[in-house]
Every structure is written in structure tokens, then in C-alpha cells.
Amino acid sequence: MTENRYDYIIVGAGSAGCVLANRLTEDGDKRVLLLETGGSDKSIFIQMPTALSIPMNTKKYAWQFETELEPYLDNRRMHCPRGKVLGGSSSINGMVYVRGHARDFDEWESEGASGWDYQNVLPYFKKAEQWAFGGDDYRGDSGPLGVNNGNNMRNPLYKAFIRAGVDAGYLETDDYNGARQEGFGAMHMTVKNGRRWSTANAYLRPAMDRPNLTVVTHALVHKVVLEGKTATGVRYEQGGRLHEATAAEEVILSAGSIGSPHLLQLSGIGKREVLEQAGIEVQHELPGVGENLQDHLEFYFQFRCKQPVSLNGKLDWWNKLKIGLRWILRKDGLGATNHFESCGFIRSKAGVEWPDLQYHFLPAAMRYDGKEAFNGDGFQLHIGHNKPRSRGFVHVQSADPRQAPRIRFNYLEHEADREGFRDCVRLTREIISQPAMDDYRGAEIQPGANVQTDDEIDAFVRQAVESAYHPSCSCKMGTDERAVVDPETRVRGIQNLRVVDSSIFPTIPNGNLNAPTIMVAERAADLIRGREPLQSAEVPVVMDDQWQARQRPGQAKRALA
């Protein structure tokens, strides 16, 4: 067994780990070891945005986790891929850039994550970001993370969808990551110069030439090494040999919402009965580890398209070859976008204060993994209820780090979540029925016009929903007995050990998780280094002042028209 000494050890070169590796080495006075189980991200299928379905479904680049039988989804097993490559899930995800609603972070504060309210986290979103259209009070223009709108909605279906939302009585929002999330508008993606702008590209690659950063790939971490209640390093395997690395200051777990709780449990930190059942000696009882697991579900609302403008006509091998060659030569065209270029955020009913439903619009009718393309022109909306009340778990099964943990989300256990998906079906039909879609809207493919009653909708949803790939909250931040880390991201009761990734979210935000995960790592880097946090932002958040009485802001205006 070899041994190496560092100041900080970061486990996981993903969305958070790459940020930390950059920020903790930028002063040059701290030696940092970054460990990643996967390997290089230098693959055309990772770097070309339109190829997003390939790395997500490839064992080389992603942990292909599956849940246990989900009891409220007709006992289906759900796919739960997590990044296993430099860049982690930011190298295999859909590249959609959504911060979440301002109230999501105020909710974190109310859950005990003091200092993580919107006004305090906004400066870190801005610090991370290089927004293609310039900075303002809400957007950053000089950060590492390139963000744009892909092909700027050249396909006419994108803008037709936005107009349909306005026709239905909702607002058009100029920037859902700015002052007002609620409404319909252009969607943003982490793409720069036509390439996926993962945290590996944005943060890690610029830092890899620093002499104080060591990056070790194909390293499977077995456990955090503890001396009493203090973390002193990690034990990991590479090339069939065991290694032990020592951290003079801290060990930081950034292995994600499945990997981080699993590693804590492998190290003897967690709920006593879970550890004992797996044959692991309890080093520190912390009952919240692996609990509070949350995710977003979505389904595809599909329609035939009456005009030959959809991407379904580009799915044959010849068109794919042309798209790929153009991207290789010019880094533009249909290869340089994730194709989710317009979106919507709405509230499901009156009395809901901020949006809880999210739309990704796709000018094609196909599966997220690229399979089962519809024969003919079509379009679809990915729609989901984004503030679930159901909670699941991640539980270690064995002391063997190669054995995957038990994962169960208990999707749709809570009646409010089932009700939210009924709203998804009915509100979507109303939106797509608007005049703006008349030139394009054909027959409803899925769910199908015969799906109308609550029972019919519930049955369809149980069979059709898929994960939006946003597992989170399994090592929640706070101060209550279920909290795993404190508001400084330190594991409660253990010295020199932190968790920094989406597992520490107290609740899941209304949106995709890559942007808030990067923000968490940016802010945590300042906490780790003992720096004063960035000055809080005093900016207005625009919301419907009559949210208690109406479901959409444009209702009154629509009634007068």
C-alpha cells in the first residue's frame, strides 16, 4: 500500500469536484488530490452536444444504477445513471442550465441551511457564469461556465410553443434565470463555442497544469480513513493496488447524491441499522445519511406535427453523418445544441407561490435516449412536477465498494405528487390547443385522447414517467437531527470531513440541478478556505402578487381580451 500526503482530498471529479479542484488550487499554497473512478472525457460523444444520449447510456462514462422496485410506479425499476468520467454528470447530462426559483433557496434557509438564501447564493451563480448575452444584476459575464441558447431557436416550433403559453394566459419571461422565472421563453444550456461546457472543460482543464493539483483517474475509493472522530484521508484502489492518501486539512466528498452517502456508509458513518445490516462497523451514528432522497420525474407529451419542420426528418444515418461532420469541422449547426431551446415554468394551481411545473420543448417526437423515434414529423414536451413531497433513500448493502447501494425514491408516494402530474396533463393540453400551435399541432400521440379521468391519467403516469436524472438531498444540509452536514458543509460530528455536491440540498429546486450544484461548490470553496462570503445581492424577485387567487399571471388580462 502506497501513501501520499496532501492538504485536501476531493473524492469525485464531477460537477462540484471540478469546481473545488480549481478554486482550492488557485492560490498555489495548498496541495490537492482529486480522485475520479472514471477516465478521460475526450470523446466526441461527450463533447458534441447533440450526442447527449450516448454517454448517459454508456457504462464507460456512467454508473448505470437502477432503483429497487418502485411501489407507486407499478413496481418498475428506474434507470439512475450518474457520471463516471472527468466532469461527472456534467459530462453526460442534457446541458440544461436552470438555477431554480429564488424561493427554492429561501426554502433552504427555512430548512436550517443558514446563509444559503437567494440573496446570498446569487453572487455565486454570477461568479460561475459566462452568460453569452452579457452580465447584469442577475447574470455573470466573466465566470468559467459558458452558457448560451444553442441555435437561438431557429426552428419555428420553439417560438410557437412560447406564443402558445402566452395565448393560454401565462407570461413570456425574458430570462427565467433572472428576475422572474415564471413564464415561457428561451432555454439556456452549458455550451460554449459549440462544445459541451462541462465542469471538466470550464474548471478542471484550466487547473490541471498547476503543480499543486494531482488528478488520479480510474481510482475506486473504498472508504474515508478515520482516527476516532477525525477524517485523516482516504483508501482507494487503482490498477489492482491499494493506496492510502492523507489529508492534512480536509477530506471532501463530491461523489454525488448516490456516491457520497454510499461512501459515508462504507466508512461507518450513517444510520446504525443500515450499517449493521450491511456488516459495517459503526464509527459514527448519523441517521440522516442516505435519507431524504429526492428526484424529478417527467413524461413526454407527444404530438404529430402537420408541417415537415421537426427533427424527426434528421434521424436517419445520412443526416446524422452530415450533422456530425459539420460539427467536427465547424462546431455549429444541429450538432452544437441539446435541442431544448425553449421552455416554460408555471404554477400548477392557485395557492402555489412559485412555479412547480417545468417544460422542456423538443421539436421532435422521440425518447430521451434517442430510441423509438416516431415515424413521421412530431414534437414533444418534457413535463414534470418539480416540487415532490415523496422521499426515498440510498442504503449501503455490503462493505464491498463495488456493490451498488440500494436505491429507492418512492416516486409518487405522496398524493400531492400524483395530483401534480394530473395538472401536468390537463394544463399541457390547454396550452398546446392555443392558436399559436394551429399550424403545427396534429393528433396527440401520448398520452392519447382517451386518457381523461384521474384514474386514467394516474395509470398512464405510472407507466410513462421517467427520471429527469436529478437525484439529490440524500445528505441534507441543516441543523436538525436528520441533517448530515451543517451550513458550512461539514459532516456533523466528524472533524475535517465535508460533503459538497447536490446531496446536501435540503430540498430539490424547481429546475435542473447542474447550475445549483456548481453554485454550491463555488460557495463551499470560500467556506473551506475561510474567506468572507461574497456580498449578498439586494435584487428584486418578480412574482405574481395574486398567486393565492389565480393559477397564471395573465388570467385577468386574458379575461378582458
| Residues assigned a catalytic role | 470
Q: How far is CA 522 from CA 20, 91, 103, 118, 531, in A?
A: 7, 18, 20, 14, 12
* Beta bridge mates, 416: none
d(CA 102, CA 117): 8
Q: Are strands 79-83 and 129-131 parallel, antiparallel or unpaired?
A: unpaired
Report cis status (omega within 30 of 0) of the bond before 447.
yes
What is the rounded CA–CA span in Å between residue 222 and residue 243? 10
CB 385 within 8 A of CB 427: no
CA-based Rg of the chain, rounded to a whole angstrom?
23
Alpha-carbon gap, residue 466 to 368, rounded angstroms: 10
Angle at 314 between CA 313 and CA 315, to 5 degrees: 100
Annotated binding-site members: 7-36, 85, 93-96, 221
Task: Identify the three-state secondary structure at position 104.
Answer: helix
Task: Choose among 9, 93, 58: nearest CA to 468.
Answer: 93
- Alpha carbon distance 139, 129 (integer Å): 7
- The greatest distance separating any two alpha carbons of the chain, rounded to the nearest whole angstrom, comes to 76
**Sign of the torsion angle spanned by Cα atoms 46, 51, 57, 58:** negative
> How many whole angstroms separate alpha carbon 291 and alpha carbon 262?
11
Instruction: Provide φ and ψ at 89, rounded to 5°.
Output: -70, -15
Cβ atoms 130, 140 nearer than 8 A: yes
Are 147 and 131 within 8 A, CB to CB?
A: yes
Instruction: Tell me the C-alpha to C-alpha distance, in Å, between residue 341 and each of 241, 335, 364, 483.
Output: 46, 13, 12, 37
Residue 128 corresponds to which cell in the numbers above? 460561475
Residue environment code for 492-516, b if the CB has 16+ CB neighbours within 10 A, otherwise e: bebebbbbbbbbbbbbbbbbbbbbb
Q: Which residues of 406-419 are buried (b: 16+ CB within 10 A; e: fewer)?
A: bbbbbbbbeeebbe
CA dihedral of 515, 516, 522, 524, whole degrees rounded to 10? -160
Cα–Cα dist 158/339, whole Å:
10
* Alpha carbons 530 and 418: distance in angstroms, whole number: 44
CA distances from 144 to 135, 147, 560 (A): 13, 10, 46
List binding-site positions for FAD.
7-36, 85, 93-96, 221
